[in-house]
Structure 1
Amino acid sequence: MLLISWYGVAFACANRGFRGSMARRILPIHAVGVLPLLVWAGGATLAGERMSLRALLVLVVLGLVVYVPVYLLQHRLIVRAGATYNALLGLAVPIVVGVVSTLLGMASPPGAAQWCAGLLALAAMGVVVVSRSRR
């Protein structure tokens, strides 16, 4: 979590005021980030592991349709609104996923402890947003 926070702040500082395409800014970062995954996949392949063509296509579509747009929006948000709002968005994702999964019948409803933790996180997010907007 500390490294993710540091990255958000460093990216925001390095790109403050940048108005161009975020793809140019984040492609080198993600290219370096994918290297450990390629080493892992290469090692697994050399060890005899195989992936079906269907699984590979699902991963490619997931990456291009979901992750690329989300990362572009996330980095634009870091530059425009700051790392704090980006971190808050990251905290909201598990809450939204839990509620949507329940509504779609993919998971059972959250328990009382999960609801309390989610509401506490939302309240904390609200405090941060209100305090930052008063500056």
Structure 2
Amino acid sequence: MRPAGITVIAAIVALEAAALLIAAGWYGSQLLTGAPVLSFWGAVFTLGLLLGSSIWLFAVARFLFGGYRWPRAGALVAQLFALTIGFPTLTGGYPLAGLAMLVPAAAAIVLLFDKRVIAFASRTGGAPPAL
């Protein structure tokens, strides 16, 4: 039986992936409309980074929801990045945006170390037996 913590973590990670996808769409539209950038290829790299991160987080959410072991590390790293960005955002004059990053990240980190989540997310999904 899937614990509620897995569902909450997967939802948080999927929402973060959706936010990155929205940011990539906005960034790409700005790039196409000719918004000034210091380096065109740097902007293209940033767009690729946003898209790649979004795809990665969607995969982490999907496989974590399925009970695999490996996405727990990816989810933890994503939450640590959210904390790293959330604290300066909170203290830099954007308290709502900072809290929107900090609260879900903290909840996901706590839930990632719940014993029921760890027990459920232990599937390895290895190759079929050789013989």
TM-score scaled by length of structure 1: 0.31
TM-score scaled by length of structure 2: 0.32
